[in-house]
Structure 1
Amino acid sequence: MAGRLNTLRVAVASAATAIVAAGVLASPAAAINTYNASPAPERTETGALLVLWDTDGDGVDDSFDWHCTGAMIDRDTFLTASHCIVDWSADPSLDHFYVSLDQNVQGELDAAAALGLSGAAEARYFLAHGQAVEGSGIVDPSYGQAQSDPHDIAVVDFAHRAVTPADRWSFTPAKLPTAGRLSALSSSQLEAAPWLAVGYGTEEAHTGGGPQTHPGGGIRLKASLGFDALNASWIRLSMIEAQGYGGACYGDSGGPNFVTLNGVLLLAGVTVTGDTPCYATNVAYRTDTGSARSFLAPYVRLA
């Protein structure tokens, strides 16, 4: 487990660099907190993003692990964050992206490791046992180019793959909001609406007198959040324990932030960042903006 958390921190560090450059917050979110959270077996559209990559630059893929979260938005499109897809191998052609919609992905990784499998052999094991499906990671071409809108949104596309997640799992794709849906609501309406984060991330900070650590992760959890603020690209959500909320942490990046409006559950934002110890704020990239919809239009039918 320690090795898996170390590789997760490598991904978090590279993502944080990109986000700081974009002028947002200093730490990407990645997991659901232990407080005010519960398992989410019913959220079958939400999955873990696994990556196979070359860690030492020798041209051979040698590491396979889960790193982020995402959600199916149709039968062959998995929505996640751009920073989950970039900066893996020195040669990006060596990067391979997989999605699992299983509830306990970490348990499956542990079982494969117990068989002595690692790297490409572990990825092949997941494919052979129906525990993951490989797709094509596609990043918004404008990712990181503007402080006001870093375009931290990506998809794993299965449209041209022989096997899609729909061949392995039963799920109802998440519903995206219509254009400008959140902007059309008042702050009081957004505050009154139920918000929900779902992800596979690690726990909030543990100190115990030593360095800050974030154990756990790899199991799908959910937590209710409270609305804080809306701006042109972002939704800011409260995950303060004393207010009865939970929220995202390391590994929940790319995961869905749902809001229920008029009885309909909508994937309103993609988890991108938050406070470093994962105690207070989750910041999600909006899916109802013109830039997000422009990127998604080639992959999913938008209402």
Structure 2
Amino acid sequence: MRSRLTTLAIGTAALVAAGLVAPGTAGAITGGTEDLANRYSNVGLILFYDDGVRYRCTATLVQPDVLLTAGHCTFGTSGGTIVTFDPDVARTPTEAAAEIPTAADPALGFQPGDLGADDGEWRIGTASTHPAYSDFTDLDNWNDVGVVQLAEPVAGITPASIADRGALDEVAQPALNKTAVTVVGYGTEVRKPVAGPQKPTPMSYPIVRRYTDAIGQKLTPQILQTNGNENDNRAGGGSCFGDSGGPSFLDGDIVTVTSYGRTDNCRYIDGLQRVDIGVVQDWLATFGVTPAA
């Protein structure tokens, strides 16, 4: 989990400590649109603890009681993982302190009792990581996929569907550079600070759901690499810290989850873990998650 903080090129989870997202470690879908219409209602914000520190990622409801996310958002976590599907979680540190739950004992992580009566929009579950997740050590066997099994099924939200096996192979080069996937996540925006050097920087707030289109650049057996440049006239922007585990959709189905980025200001190259491949789909099937018929 340390790689999400010290190596910005690997993993895109965001730190949430003491009710705040640490500046410089969080970001958002660059060039994205706030999901004010709740278009992606099955995409949620997840929170979890590791070594006493609270983090956040993005996840998607793929069964009434199963969330799909990145492996680095489930690997080595303490206690439970909680989720909300609110598209507008907090716009200021004050709102975050009031709206975002904390664990009574950070070393133990979230426990069911940490969600009080006023936290009705939050649900708790148990995280699992793909058994072949390489923790960013093996490019040929990345497998950056995880799930969260919720204690109770979610009512009133239609789960998203997983793409058929090999769906991305249908848009390999040269079609890839003309194909956009829709990336969704809860990272915060990259913008110029109010004071100091006016360099676009990942900011901590607001914590809201956003989406954008990203153009395919390279496809490997494990990874879809996209161009995360918001100035690309072929599409929108890309993903950033806090968007980890969030889905990308192609023709309405999930084809990837956000895995990593290559720059500390969330520009240019994004790495998205494919979920349309056998090694991932065979594992997801053990949780009852299979491609749409």
Compute the TM-score of the two structures, normalised by the length of structure 2: 0.78
Query: Which letter does structure 2 place at the counterpart of 1:51?
Result: F
Distance 1:110 1:120, change over 3 A: farther
- Separation in 1 of the partners of 2:212 and 2:96? 29
Instruction: Please give the per-residue CA displacement for 1:177-215, whole angstroms capped at 9, x wherever unaligned.
Output: 111121133424444444211000122375753898521
Q: Is the 8 A contact 2:255 2:275 kept in 1?
A: yes
Q: Is the 8 A contact 1:48 1:218 kept in 2?
A: no
Q: Is the 8 A contact 2:166 2:277 kept in 1?
A: yes
Q: Paired residue for 1:39, among 35, 46, 57?
A: 35
Q: Is the 8 A contact 2:230 2:238 kept in 1?
A: no
Alpha-carbon offset, residue 135 of structure 1: 0.5
Matched residue, 1:19: none
Distance 1:188 1:126, change over 3 A: farther
1:84 aligns with 2:68: no
Instruction: Please give the per-residue CA displacement for 1:138-167, whole angstroms capped at 9, x wherever unaligned.
Output: 001111163312211000012xx2x23x14
- Separation in 1 of the partners of 2:86 and 2:59? 12
Query: Which letter does structure 1 place at the counterpart of 2:147?
Result: V
Instruction: Please give the per-residue CA displacement for 1:207-249, whole angstroms capped at 9, x wherever unaligned.
Output: 7538985212521011111111211101011121221421111
- Count of matched residue pairs: 263
Q: Is the 8 A contact 1:38 1:223 kept in 2?
A: no
Query: Which letter does structure 1 place at the counterpart of 2:83?
Result: V
Q: Is the 8 A contact 2:30 2:240 kept in 1?
A: no
Query: Which letter does structure 1 place at the counterpart of 2:209?
Result: R
- Separation in 1 of the partners of 2:287 and 2:248? 20
Matched residue, 1:257: 248
Q: When you count helix as a share of all residues, which structure comes out higher?
A: 1
Q: Paired residue for 1:272, among 231, 245, 259?
A: 259
Q: Is the 8 A contact 1:29 1:282 kept in 2?
A: no
Matched residue, 2:145: 153
Describe the SS at the equivalent of 2:72.
Answer: helix
Alpha-carbon offset, residue 13 of structure 1: 2.2
1:116-155 residue pairs with structure 2 within 5 A?
118-120=102-104, 124=113, 126-128=115-117, 129-144=119-134, 146-155=138-147
1:182 aligns with 2:165: no
Matched residue, 2:12: 29
Q: When you count strand as a share of all residues, which structure comes out higher?
A: 2
Distance 1:130 1:146, change over 3 A: same
Q: Is the 8 A contact 2:30 2:230 kept in 1?
A: no
Compute the TM-score of the two structures, normalised by the length of structure 1: 0.75
Distance 1:114 1:298, change over 3 A: closer
| Superposition CA RMSD, Å | 3.1
Q: Is the 8 A contact 2:182 2:213 kept in 1?
A: yes
Alpha-carbon offset, residue 106 of structure 1: 3.0
**What percent identity do the matched residue pairs reach?**
25
Matched residue, 1:171: 157
Alpha-carbon offset, residue 107 of structure 1: 5.1
1:49 aligns with 2:39: no
- Separation in 1 of the partners of 2:98 and 2:32? 32
